[in-house]
Amino acid sequence: MGRTLVFEETFVSGTKLNEEVWSYELGAGGWGNNESQYYTRSDKNVRIEEDGLKITAHKEEIDGSHYSSARILTRGKKTWQYGRFEIRAQMPAGNGTWPAIWMLGVKEGNEGWPAIGEIDIMEHVGRTQDIVHFSLHTQKYNHRDRTQITHVETIDDVTTAFHDYVLDWDAEKIAFEVDGKQQACFYKKDYADSWPFDKPYYLILNQAIGGGFGGEIDDSIFPQTLQIQSIRIYQ
C-alpha cells in the first residue's frame, strides 16, 4: 500500500512561523537536563530565511541565563501516529551545541516522562562532531537509567551540509534513516514490556546548549544555527 503526503512544511522565505501548527516553549530552568539556554520566540532565535527555518543560539544574558535559543513544537495542534517523517536539516557546530529533532507522546492521564515515550529522530552534540544519535525512551528503557534504546553513527558533514533524517514508524517497528540509508531499526517484539509507541506523538525542533548531554560550552563559537529546510510526513 502506498503512502500519502499528510503534512508538508517548507518554511517559505519571508513568512512567519505558522502558529496554527507550531508553538514556542519559553524560559529556562534546565529542561530536565541542566541545560544553559533560555528559550525565546524572538526573531533573533527563530526565523525563516531563504534556506529555511533557522533556530539560532546566541551568547547573551537573558533573565539569569547566559545563552538564548529556541524550541518549537506541534503539541496540541498537530499529532501523528505512525508514518514516514522526512526532515531535511543541517546542524550547528561547536562544543556545547545540542540540536535535536524529536517527538513526545501525548499524555494519557497524569503520566509523565519517560512513560509518555520519546522518539529521537536525531540528536547531535558538538563535542562529538559528526556522531548522530538515534534513540527511543520509555518507562523501562531511558537515559535517566542509562537503558535507552539507542544507536550512534558517524555521518559526515552534518554541520556543513543538509541531510535527510527519516523516521519510519509503524505498528511493528521504528526505524531511522539518513539520506536513504537505514541506520537502525528497533522492533516492538524485542521491547514489548515497555513500548508506548502505539499512540499519537507531536514533533519538537530545538537547539539546547550545554547540559548533561551537550557538555562543556565553548563561548567562542556563537552564534550557531540549526537549519531545517523541509518537513514531509507520509502515512
Which residues are part of the catalytic machinery? Answer: 118, 123
- The answer for residues whose C-beta is within 8 angstroms of residue 225's C-beta and 6 or more apart is 54, 55, 56, 57, 92, 207
User: 223: cis peptide before it, omega within 30°?
Assistant: yes
User: Are 85 and 177 a contacting pair, CB within 8 Å?
Assistant: no
- The DSSP call for residue 129 is T
For β-strands 201-209 and 131-137, DSSP reports them as unpaired
Query: From the CB of residue 11, how many other CB atoms can be counted at a distance below 10 Å?
Result: 20
